[in-house]
Amino acid sequence: MQSGLLLYETLSISQGKSFEPYVKEIIPNIMSCIADTRVPVRDAANATNKQIISTFSNYAIKQVVPMFLDGLKTDNWRGKYAAVEGIGNMAFCAPKQILGFLPDIVKALREVLNDTHEKVHEAALKAISNIGSVIKCPEVAELLDIIIKALGNSNLYLNDCLGALLETSFVHAIDAPSLSLLIPLVDIGLTMHDNSSK
């Protein structure tokens, strides 16, 4: 299994963009290996996944993002974990390519942040952090910890997060990764306000 993953990784390095037509067939195999019970297999799968994603064009991203998002809907925790890991790798390795998908990605990750399985929850936190790591706006970057907490547990942290945002003076442009994290907070706040006023 590890030798097959190494072959995928090697082909990605040597073939570059020519390897992209095959990603739809091999990504499910890699996701299956990310969810493997053996640590060496998981490590090899994650390394392969990162290498392949780092070479993705916009075309390949469009093919693969829906596969990862669909993987988040499974009831199998290992499959869900693999999808979250894939998204996290994509956010870290191909931040520019996934800009257009960030609203859907963050929305999907928010739904699994409260997953009852500890590994899925931790992987979702890591994936959100990976998105946060490409934020260019210093003001949002400084608030990243409370933003992630609010996305994960809005009942406990949303008010603190919104308060911190209101007290922040923004002097830099707010980039797309920042917006992808901030817009859901506003949506949550509006929903909670509507529910409390009924």
What is the rounded average pLDDT for all residues in the chain?
85
Q: Which residue has the higher pLDDT, 164 or 60?
A: 164
The band of 165, judged by pLDDT with boundaries at 50, 70 and 90, is very high
Instruction: Judge residue 112's burial from the number of C-beta atoms within 10 Å of its C-beta, 0-12 exposed, 13-18 middle, 19 or more buried.
Output: buried
* Location of structure tokens 């009942």: 155
Q: Which residue has the higher pLDDT, 198 or 31?
A: 31
The band of 196, judged by pLDDT with boundaries at 50, 70 and 90, is low
Question: What mean pLDDT do residues 2-11 have?
Answer: 88
The band of 15, judged by pLDDT with boundaries at 50, 70 and 90, is confident
10: left (phi over 0), alpha (psi -120 to 50) or beta: alpha
The band of 13, judged by pLDDT with boundaries at 50, 70 and 90, is confident
Inform me whether the pLDDT recorded for 160 exceeds 90. yes
Q: What value, to the nearest 5°, has the Cα angle with vertex 55 and ends 52 and 61? A: 85
The band of 197, judged by pLDDT with boundaries at 50, 70 and 90, is low
Inform me whether the pLDDT recorded for 102 exceeds 90. no
**Directed axis angle between helix 176-197 and helix 102-113, to 10°?**
50
* Cα atoms in the 13 Å half-sphere on the side-chain side of 78: 11
Q: Which residue has the higher pLDDT, 52 or 167?
A: 167
Q: What is the pLDDT of residue 198?
A: 59
